[in-house]
Amino acid sequence: MKAFLKYREIWLLAAIVVLIGLISTRFPAFADPGNLRQVFNDTSILMILALGQMVVILTRSIDLSMASNLCFTGMVVAMLNAAHPAIPIPLLIVIALVVGLVLGAINGLLVWRLNIPSIVVTLGTLTIYRGATFVLSGGAWVNADKMSPDFIGFQRAAFLGIPVLSWIAILVIALFFVLMTRTALGRSIYAIGVNPTASVYAGIDVGRTKFIVFCISGMIGGLSGYLWISRYVIASVEVANGYELNIIAACVIGGISIAGGIGSVGGTVLGALFLGIISNALPVINISPFWQMAISGSAIILAVVLNARSERQQGRIILKKVEAA
């Protein structure tokens, strides 16, 4: 099983290397380490968001409200910063995490306590959170000139030659890796996705675990809210509109099964990188950015076709093992 997972990630990695190779035949400087660092930095927010979505999808749920959460939390921290520039950035990040956590907990409570399917809950909160952003801001924008230099500069500051944004992404990836492979919660998340009924008999509180994963995706949405706003230096109601589907796309390309239980941190990160490389490469090889949507759409379809194949094979292997026993 573990060797098999590695197998798929290696394939994804190979696809990315081939992609970079193809791009550098047209534009040699693309494969430059400096440029690749830049691509990583550009993709950081998508990677972070995709990891938050990953834990939700692994439990057979989905969180469509992440981009709206990002939009709302981003507006909260931007307005706080505009009104009180003295608030230190680490405190703002904590505020972003808490606001995101509250929004995620609302989703989680509705799923846990009322047993409403997550797609319905988050479809509702998707519009509610974005609408709430409008109510909060009165439709106004927060522009770069209202944000403090620290607010904008924090994630751009270089530490050991790499921007803080990339470090945050690396830290989040490491945390998720530990969570998924080294903790009981991570095992429960996988178990629920593979077989919810068996999980109950194994003593896992399925509802509570789902609540926790929505809290996690909410916190990630909140954190990304600050990162997004300070990166693109504008907070408005339109921020990240429709981005929830890019997040899910990154997960699917990364090999997360929408049916739950299958997927890994490495795959998700690579899936996000794949999309990030495409969006970075199109302008440099002179393809109109209008092509991006169709290309990522094709990539998603291709990925899901390949995923389905490998999942089917895996099913056969398990059966053989059972028969042999």
Partner 1 sequence: MTDVPAPRHIPDRLDKPLSSAIFSWEALLVVVAAAIFAINSFASPYFLDPYSLSDLTFNFTEKGLIAFAMALLIISGEIDLSVAAIIALASTMMGMAVQAGAGTPVLVLIGIVVGLGCGTFNGLLVTRLGLPSIVVTIGTMSLFRGIAFIILGDQAYKGYPESFAFFGQGYVWWVVSFELVLFLIAAVVYWFVLHRTSFGRRVFAIGNNPVAAQFSGVRVGRTKFILFCLTGLMSGIAAVLITSRLGSTRPSIAQGYELEVITMVVLGGVSILGGAGSILGVVLAAFIMGLVTFGLGLLNVPGIVMSIFIGLLLIIVIALPIVWRRLRGGR
Which residues have C-beta within 8 Å of that of residue 217, sequence separation ≥ 6? 52, 53, 55, 56, 63, 66, 104, 107
207: contact with partner 1 by CB under 8 A: no
Binding segment toward partner 1, per CB under 8 A, in 3-11, 91-99, 247-255, 316-324? 247-255
Helix (H) or strand (E) holding 233: none
| SS3 assignment, position 235 | strand
Alpha-carbon distance of 112 to 117, in angstroms, equals 9
Strands (E), 113-258: 158-159, 162-163
Closer to partner 1 by CB, 212 or 252: give it: 252
Q: Which of 286, 290, 316, 324 binds partner 1 (CB under 8 A)?
A: 290
Quickly list DSSP for 139-156.
T--B-GGGS-HHHHHGGG
Alpha-carbon distance of 107 to 68, in angstroms, equals 12
Q: Contacts with partner 1: how many residues (CB under 8 A)? A: 46
286: contact with partner 1 by CB under 8 A: no
* Contacts with partner 1, 224-243, as mask; x by CB under 8 A: -------------x----x-
Task: Give the phi and the psi of residue 142 in degrees, each rounded to 5.
Answer: -110, 115
Closer to partner 1 by CB, 16 or 116: give it: 116
And the tokens for 266? Answer: 């490495």
**Per DSSP, what are the bridge partners of residue 40?**
none
Closest alpha carbon to 77 in 66, 67, 90, 65 = 90
And the tokens for 26? Answer: 């047209």
Alpha-carbon distance of 151 to 148, in angstroms, equals 5
252: contact with partner 1 by CB under 8 A: yes
Binding segment toward partner 1, per CB under 8 A, in 28-36, 41-49, 121-129, 201-209? 121-129
Binding segment toward partner 1, per CB under 8 A, in 15-23, 201-209, 264-272, 303-311? 303-311
277: contact with partner 1 by CB under 8 A: no
In the complex, minimum distance from the CB of residue 175 to partner 1, in angstroms, rounded to a whole number = 27
Closer to partner 1 by CB, 132 or 240: give it: 132
Closer to partner 1 by CB, 134 or 177: give it: 134
Closer to partner 1 by CB, 283 or 297: give it: 297
275: contact with partner 1 by CB under 8 A: no
Alpha-carbon distance of 98 to 256, in angstroms, equals 27
139: contact with partner 1 by CB under 8 A: yes
* Contacts with partner 1, 73-102, as mask; x by CB under 8 A: ------------------------------
134: contact with partner 1 by CB under 8 A: yes
| SS3 assignment, position 264 | coil
CB 263 within 8 A of CB 255: yes
Q: Which of 91, 135, 157, 318 binds partner 1 (CB under 8 A)?
A: 135
CB 172 within 8 A of CB 227: no
Q: Which of 91, 144, 171, 245 binds partner 1 (CB under 8 A)?
A: 245
Q: Footprint of partner 1 on this chain (CB under 8 A)?
A: 62, 64, 110, 114-117, 119-121, 123-128, 130-132, 134-135, 139, 237, 242, 245, 248-249, 252, 258-259, 288, 290-301, 304-305, 308
